[in-house]
Structures are given as structure tokens and as C-alpha cells.
Amino acid sequence: MSTVTNRANLSIFVAGFLFGLGLVVSGMSNPAKVVGFLDVAGNWDPSLILVMGGGLLVTVPAFHLVLKNSQPLFEEKFFLPTLKAVDSKLVAGAVLFGIGWGIAGFCPGPALAALVSLNPLVLLFLAAMIGGMLLHHFLLE
């Protein structure tokens, strides 16, 4: 492998590491924290706002600066989403995701981070989530 490939691979691993660390430090890998935020009529826990806020505090200015470059450090171009229109698939997908997120308090990142607990219900959630992704792949892609 070339040096560039090695550096690219190392940096993406480090990015994943920081992401996983952020998820557990923030408490978001615990569904009770997430549902505590979503339960606005109960004993409300606003922590999730600060997690998203903290993330955006970095990404809003940093993405702006990064995207001024003609290309990333280790690739020839930026791979950005190309779809622009707000369509029914986007909204329907967000609705289904929102229901599932509300039921279990897990979205994909935190569920992956919680995998290290080896809790059977986390494994079950991840298996079902992968099942849902495969269902979409074979039915609609």
C-alpha cells in the first residue's frame, strides 16, 4: 500500500475513534439519556441539545473552511451528497427513523458504540437495524 493510502486509512480510523469516544463521553450511547431528551413532557434532560450544539460548533465553521480547499488531503475530490430536492422519500424515511428512535432510544451511531457492552438487546437491535437496511436494499435499490 502507498503511504497516502496508509495515512488515509489511519486518519479514517482515528476519526471513527474520536466519533465513538464522543458518543460514549456525551452519554448518547445510553438510550435513557436520549429518551430523557425526547420526553419533553417528563423529567426533561436537555443534554442532547448540547451534544448536537457542540458538534455543530465545530462542523459549521470547520466544514466551511475545509470545503474551500480544492480537494481533501488524501483523496482527489470531496464525496458530497448530490440530491438537493426535499422529496417524499426523505420525509417518509425520517418519519420511520423517528418512530424507531423514539421507541428504543437508539440511532445507528450510539447503537454501534453500545455494542461493546455485548448486551443481547443491543445485539438484537443492531441485527434488526441491519435487517432493515437490507430490506431497503433488496426492495428499493
Partner 1 sequence: MENFTPVTALLGGLLIGTAATLTLWANGRIAGISGILSGVIVPRGRDAVWRLLFVLGLLSGALAYALLRGQPTPLDLQVGPGLTIVAGLLVGFGTRLGSGCTSGHGICGLARFSRRSFTATLTFMLVAIITVFVMRHLMGGTAA
CA 1 to chain centre: 29
CB 113 within 8 A of CB 20: yes
In the complex, minimum distance from the CB of residue 77 to partner 1, in angstroms, rounded to a whole number:
6
Q: Which of 2, 3, 6, 56 binds partner 1 (CB under 8 A)?
A: 56
Cβ 3 to partner 1 shortest distance, Å: 14
Q: How far is the CB of 118 from partner 1 (least distance, A)?
A: 10
Quote the CA–CA distance of 46 and 81 in Å, as a whole number: 30
Q: Is 81 in the site for partner 1 (CB under 8 A)?
A: yes
User: Does residue number 119 form part of the binding site for partner 1 (CB under 8 A)?
Assistant: yes
Which 87-106 residues touch partner 1, going by CB under 8 A? 89-106
Taking CA 59 as the corner, what is the angle to CA 56 and CA 60, rounded to the nearest 5 degrees? 75
